[in-house]
Structure 1
């Protein structure tokens, strides 16, 4: 029958099919029909086949697998091809085996613990590399990039004044309103000033500023450095002998460390201002009385607590953002994932450190 599988009427009676010519994908449909029409027991004679591809080999293999067909007359090459197709014919598991809920929870917890451990080790290593870079810059002042630091001052500090001021101003109002509602039950509305003053100066102003800087600047650091990794600019820096840590990380860290205390102090003032306006309008406490009361109830240690924590928070935020940016590899989707990780990681570390500071300052008597 030329170049397509063929059989004679005499051979069809006993289920024998003689193939000849090319047994390829172009003849797959007609070959499959002839195999299905042949009665059992099926015998396939491949002595006349000159050419066979994987589709033709799979049709023969399927007949052997499902109908126990007997193959005769196959050349050595065709036998090898049939053996390879048979070896590759393994059932694929489309849907993974579902584990019970406790095992699945333990597996996810273990994966999270391993990832957290790797991240912690990487962060500590990156911290060490950053300290070495600072030492290198101090030893060689000419390598210090003042313009880059000043530019980061603008990004981290000046452009954040609006959103941080608005946020802390509203937080001061919320603290005053919620505190006044509770204190009115005891006729102690005047102590709303104590609540606003101490919680704003000691805790919330610095903490909320750190969270906002992490969302703005930490994510920007990760995205900028991650994009530079994608475009191979970081590799180009290494090629020309420029340290990426000195050029990219050190200016951002300096900007975050220097600007965080200033932003925190600004946030304290805005929070106290919001609380003062609320006390004036809602509680009838004059501004002068409010200011005098603040001077009486806020110890100077509260101001120092807030300002001491601020540069540490700034360092942690810049460290996490730059670290995640340096981990970017592959494609642009990785930039988004690492940016998200930088924000989550920096906020988590800030809150943990805030708790550590609270315990420390209480133990030394700054309460």
Structure 2
């Protein structure tokens, strides 16, 4: 027996285990030896606990005592032992509860490769579903607040909306026009190269017009706004969440959705259609430049072909998707900003998530819209 820590005594009223000495971190090695010894040698049978000679006790000593005696035995012995100080008894009980909570994880069997693989798939599907439900709820809350605020002109915040239009719309004009111009030029290059084999180089004009008006202008603009504006919304609201500014607004009786979400949604609803229109013009100008340089199609002839052969409905088909994409991008950005849990790492994670979700939803909705318009014959 380790006389300085644990002694088994036989008394007139029964068998006793006398716990004595300092069960602290300083005696960790000796306590480990005692514990390893009794893993091979069972403790005496029916016994009572005597803690009258117990010195100092910390969490390390309490955990070793619980591991030595067992959780159930410790609980029973603590109830029967009235000589143990209240603070030591509370410490042992707290450590015992903590060990009991972690016990299932410690004893959890390791899953196989296939179990982990399919488990991860199930976890991912459940997380995506919960995220989708949360996003739908936030979108409904935003629509409800939007309809309410339209009927209350006193709560309109023109200054916030104009500031957000400048940030998310006006400042994005150069990058949107540059990107769509280059994409329009690339489409014209590809069209001129491929169609030249069939002697149909003149149809490069049709390709540039159709692709820019229906798809590329709105899609590229929306993807740029998803990466630029949705991330900005998430970072702004996430920083406010970390600094507890949103909680301060709620404590002041103000609605954060009215103050923070609605101006951003309205600003993007105004900005994205305008940016899409500019992207259409810029993309057509890019195709026009390539046609003039490579195919000897003059700008006047280019515009005549478009006006005669490209119906105006293609312009409206591209433009009608802009408000829908704008609402989705703004809602996703604000939703992720409100989900930040109070750390800088969380801000980064939710900013990344907002960009990924926005781009995915924009491409998904664009594909669904393309199928719908095709089936409708538009």
* Superposition TM-score tier, normalisation by shorter sequence: 0.7 to 0.9
Q: Does 1:332 align with 2:349?
A: no
Q: Post-superposition shift, 1:75? A: 6.8
For the Cα contact (< 8 Å) 1:175–1:196, is it kept in 2? yes
- Contact 2:183/2:286, CA 8 A, preserved across alignment: yes
Matches within 5 A, 1:270-309: 270-309=282-321
Q: What is the TM-score of this pair, normalised by structure 1?
A: 0.81
Residue 110 of structure 2: aligned partner: 97
- SS of the residue corresponding to residue 297 of structure 2 reads coil
Match for residue 27 of structure 1? none
Task: Provide the rounded CA distance (Å) in 2 between the counterparts of 1:91 and 1:260.
Answer: 52
Is the Cα–Cα contact under 8 Å of residues 324 and 338 in structure 1 kept in the other structure?
A: yes
Q: 1:92 to 1:206 in 2, by over 3 A?
A: closer
Give the equivalent residue in structure 2 for 1:84.
Answer: 66
Within the candidate set 21, 24, 40, 1:53 is matched to: 24
- Structure 2 residues not aligned, in runs of 5+: 6-16, 55-60, 71-98
- Decide whether aligned partners of structure 1 residues 203 and 75 sit closer, same or farther in structure 2, where only a CA change above 3 A counts: closer
- Tell me what 1:350 maps to: 362
Q: Distance in 2 between matches of 1:193 and 1:154?
A: 34
Is 1:144 aligned to 2:156, yes or no? Answer: yes
1:109 deviation in Å? 2.0
Counterpart check, 1:257 vs 2:231: no
**Structure 1: segments with no counterpart, 5+ residues:** 1-16, 24-45
After superposition, what is the alpha-carbon deviation per residue over 1:62-111, rounded to whole angstroms, capped at 9, x for unaligned? Answer: 222257799xx99722799664132479899699835233x333222211
Give the one of 42, 53, 65 matched to 2:39: 65
Q: State whether residues 333 and 354 of structure 2, in contact with CA within 8 Å, keep that contact through their aligned partners in structure 1.
A: yes
Q: 1:167, CA displacement in angstroms? A: 0.5
For residues 321-360 of structure 1, give each alpha carbon's deviation from its aligned partner in whole angstroms, at most 9, with x where no partner exists.
1111111113111111111111111111111111221122
User: Given that residues 288 and 299 in structure 2 are in contact (C-alpha distance below 8 angstroms), is that contact kept between their aligned partners in structure 1?
Assistant: yes
Return the match for 1:228 from 229, 235, 240. 240
Pick closer, same or farther for the CA change 1:49–1:99 going to 2, 3 Å.
Answer: closer
Q: Do the aligned residues in 1 keep the contact of 2:142 with 2:262 (CA within 8 Å)?
A: yes
Aligned counterparts of 1:91 and 1:68: Cα–Cα separation in 2: 24
CA, structure 1 residues 188+94, in 2 after alignment: closer, same or farther (shift >3 Å)? farther
Computing the radius of gyration from Cα coordinates, the structure with the larger value is 1
CA contact (8 A) 2:340 2:350 kept: yes
Q: Equivalent residue for 1:315?
A: 327
Q: Paired residue for 1:156?
A: 168
Deviations 1:269-295 (A, max 9, x none): 000011111111112211111111111
Matched, 1:133 2:154: no
Cα distance between partner residues in 2 of 1:47 and 1:110: 52
Contact 1:149 1:255 in 2 (8 A): yes
Contact 1:196–1:272, Cα closer than 8 Å, also in 2: yes
What root-mean-square deviation, in Å, do the aligned CA atoms of Structure 1 and Structure 2 show? 2.9
Quick one: distance in 2 between partners of 1:222 and 1:96? 39
Q: 1:49, 1:352 → 2: CA distance?
A: 70
C-alpha distance in 2, partners of 1:111/1:330? 24
- Whole-angstrom CA distance in 2 between matches of 1:358 and 1:84: 66
Where does residue 245 of structure 1 map in the other structure? 257
Aligned equivalents of 1:48, 1:96: Cα separation in 2: 34
Q: How many residues align?
A: 326
